Amino acid sequence: MTDPSSPYSAQPSGYPASGYPAQPSAYPADPSGYPAPTSGHPAPGSGYVAPAYPAQQPGLPVPAQAPAYPVQPQAPGYPMPAQGYPGVPPMGYPARPALPPKEVGIAYLFLIFLGGFGAHHFYLGKTGRGLLWLFTFGGFFGIGCLIDLFTLPAQTRQVNSQRAMGIG
């Protein structure tokens, strides 16, 4: 039931009261296909030939294709990145010269006489561990010095290999 006071119940002015007549279908009734177009592009097989482009004239070079991106000129005075400078290694800094090795015997002497102060770690170049030994009375109240009695040769070998490579 429609409400007469509703704005949607009445037909707007200018529209037929009974609605619009049925529109013709855009699709053909024959399912075999659509009729050929009457204007626009020619139908296939109608004899249409695409225009031929002129052939390359003999004796003229074939034009080269442009690069995918333009090559930027290099600023004067600066070499291209791949060139590098003469006499300088291409990447990184020159290696530091090898440092002389540390002696295990000297490290043990420091451990025996000044191990509570971390002198053997300062000798090996381990400043942080030396400070830890200094402020904790020999590496957690002497436990670190006891461990260093057995591990000092390996620590010295590690420091010497790093010094040989120019790291330490």
pLDDT at 126 over 60: yes
Q: What is the pTM of this model?
A: 0.45
- Which whole number is the average pLDDT over 98-109? 92
Q: To the nearest whole percent, how much of the chain has pLDDT over 90?
A: 32
Burial of residue 139 (number of CB atoms within 10 Å: 0-12, 13-18, 19+): buried
Q: For the chain, which residues make up each domain, given as ranges?
A: 104-164
**Beta carbons within 8 Å of 91's beta carbon, 6+ residues apart:** none
Region label for 114, one of left (φ > 0), alpha (ψ between -120 and 50) or beta (otherwise) = alpha
| Of 14-23, 33-42, 49-58, 121-130, the least confident | 33-42
